[in-house]
Amino acid sequence: MALLRLLSLPVRAPFLTLLFCVAVVLGNHWNLVQPLFSNARGISPAMFWSLELLQVLTVVVVCTMPSLVMRQFSLLMAYSRFMTLMVNLFVVVTVGIYVLFLNLLSDLLVLTSAVLLARLDLARVGVSLKPSTSVLLMAVIVFSGIGLGHVLPNPVQGWFAKTLVAA
């Protein structure tokens, strides 16, 4: 019975399916953008994919376990005024540099929205998982979608696109 409930989860919580579809589209998009990004900025493909997957993992962890992350962050900041100033300065400078020099922030905002909607949909259905299990579930969905999107061909150069252009 538990297996049947697990298999029916994409039907009961459709935002999990949406999260997978968003991950497929992002994986395909990053696969198409990676050569242009590598040539323009001189970043190797391995470094590009490492940074993208690190960003995705960060988004999944922060969006899936916000209470645990914020509790640890609050404990660090409550330690002293100096630590509060240093942490705030570090966060503002890091986010500022990230927003100024990278144009991939919109992709991460879409992924963040999809992860939060999937989490909300799981709560609506009544599925309450431990935080570690929830992170694992979301990470498997997102990374498998990105992997599938990475191996998909370019949609502009396929048979379907040639048939539409010819018609």
Tell me the per-residue pLDDT of 89-144, one tens digit each, with 9 for 90 and over. 676 677 666 666 666 567 888 888 888 888 888 888 888 788 888 889 899 999 99
Q: Decide which of 64 and 99 is more confident.
A: 64
pLDDT at 146 over 90: yes
Q: Could you tell me how many helices (H) and strands (E) the chain has, helices first?
A: 9, 0
d(CA 76, CA 87): 8
CA pair distance 147, 36, nearest whole angstrom: 19
Does 120 reside within a domain? yes
Task: Point out the least confidently predicted range of 10-14, 16-20, 60-64, 75-79.
Answer: 75-79
Cβ atoms of 125 and 12 within 8 Å: the answer is yes
Domain annotation covers residue 6: no
Distance CA 130, CA 11 (A): 22
Asked if residue 41 belongs to a domain, the reply is yes
Higher-pLDDT residue of 75, 53: 53
Least trusted range by pLDDT, from 15-24, 32-41, 93-102: 93-102
Domain of 145, in residue numbers: 12-166
The number of distinct structural domains making up the chain is: 1
What average pLDDT does this structure show over 43-49? 85
Residue 1 lies in a domain: no
Cα-Cα-Cα-Cα dihedral sign, residues 155, 160, 163, 167: negative
Higher-confidence residue of 48 and 6: namely 48
pLDDT band at 3 (very low <50, low <70, confident <90, very high): confident
Query: Does residue 124 lie in a domain region?
Result: yes
Span 15-37, mean pLDDT?
89
For residue 141, give the nearest of 125, 109, 117 by alpha carbon: 117
Task: Tell which wins on pLDDT, 16 or 69.
Answer: 16
Q: What is the pLDDT of residue 89?
A: 66
Judge whether 70 lies within some domain: yes
In a domain, 3, yes or no: no
Whole-prediction pTM: 0.76
Q: Within a domain: residue 2?
A: no
